[in-house]
Chain A
Amino acid sequence: EIVLTQSPGTLSLSPGERATLSCRASQSLSSSYLAWYQQKPGQTPRLLIYGASSRATGIPDRFSGSGSGTDFTLTISRLEPEDFAVYYCQHYGSALYTFGQGTKLEIK
């Protein structure tokens, strides 16, 4: 079973700064079935990125995903106040879904 490890656990940044969130898999994800979700306090998770790098419908272009193999990255180019939330990566493989433990992006 693949384990996804997200880092850092908490990231403290200011609006306008660039955020880089990491998701590392315990084995190579040969098919890049990697997605990213955003969850704000008290809210439902929202799909941001699928297929490692494709933005979901309605997601601003300041959000981008990249990576392959075992290392994947979610980048937010210029943080807006509404971007401070918890972010999860998710993998699908062998008829199973796995989530990372999350990265909390907080205002510095």
Chain B
Amino acid sequence: QVQLHESGPELVKPSGTLSLTCAVSGASIGNSDWWTWVRQPPGKGLEWIGEIYHGGASHYNPSLKSRVTISLDKSNNQFSLKLSSVTAADTAVYYCARATWIQLWPAFDYWGQGTLVTVSS
């Protein structure tokens, strides 16, 4: 069973950098699949942030691309999210997930429990 667990500061100051880590168990991030981040502002819908491939290639949401970096830490079987120049609009529950290909179709099949990050001074 694949499990993902987010961790990181719950409070970030405006203009600062949000940093989160997703620890993965039950799968090796260095072997296959894409590893992704999704966020959800309080009371709102889901927004895809970006993904990283086990080989290191990455894709980002164009609306966030200038501020986002996703990286892999294969030795610790975890991947990370950095979002710079944050504002109150970045306050959200941040989820990590596995983006896999089931037969010929992409889907997010395993998710972390999510962590609420608040941007406030």
Chain A residues packing against B (C-beta within 8 Å): 1, 32-33, 35, 37, 39, 44-47, 50-51, 54, 56, 88, 90, 92, 95-102
Contact B45 A88 (CB under 8 A): yes
Residues of B within 8 A of A (CB): 36, 38, 45-48, 51, 59, 61-62, 95, 99, 102-109, 111-114
Taking a contact as CB atoms under 8 Å apart, the answer to whether A54 and B102 are in contact is yes
A selection of 26 A-B contacts at a CB cut-off of 8 Å is A1-B62, A35-B108, A37-B46, A37-B108, A44-B95, A44-B111, A44-B114, A45-B38, A45-B95, A47-B109, A50-B102, A50-B105, A50-B107, A51-B103, A54-B105, A56-B107, A88-B45, A88-B46, A90-B46, A90-B48, A90-B108, A92-B106, A97-B36, A97-B51, A97-B106, A98-B48
Q: Beyond the given A35-B106, A44-B95, A44-B114, please list 8 additional residue pairs across the A-B interface where CB-CB is below 8 A.
A: A1-B62, A44-B113, A45-B95, A45-B108, A47-B107, A51-B104, A90-B48, A92-B106
- C-alpha gap A44/B96 in the complex (Å): 10
Tell me the minimal C-beta distance from A36 to chain B in angstroms.
Answer: 9
Q: What's the Cα separation between A98 and B62 when bound, in Å?
A: 11
> How far is A88 from B107 in the complex, measured between Cα atoms in Å?
13
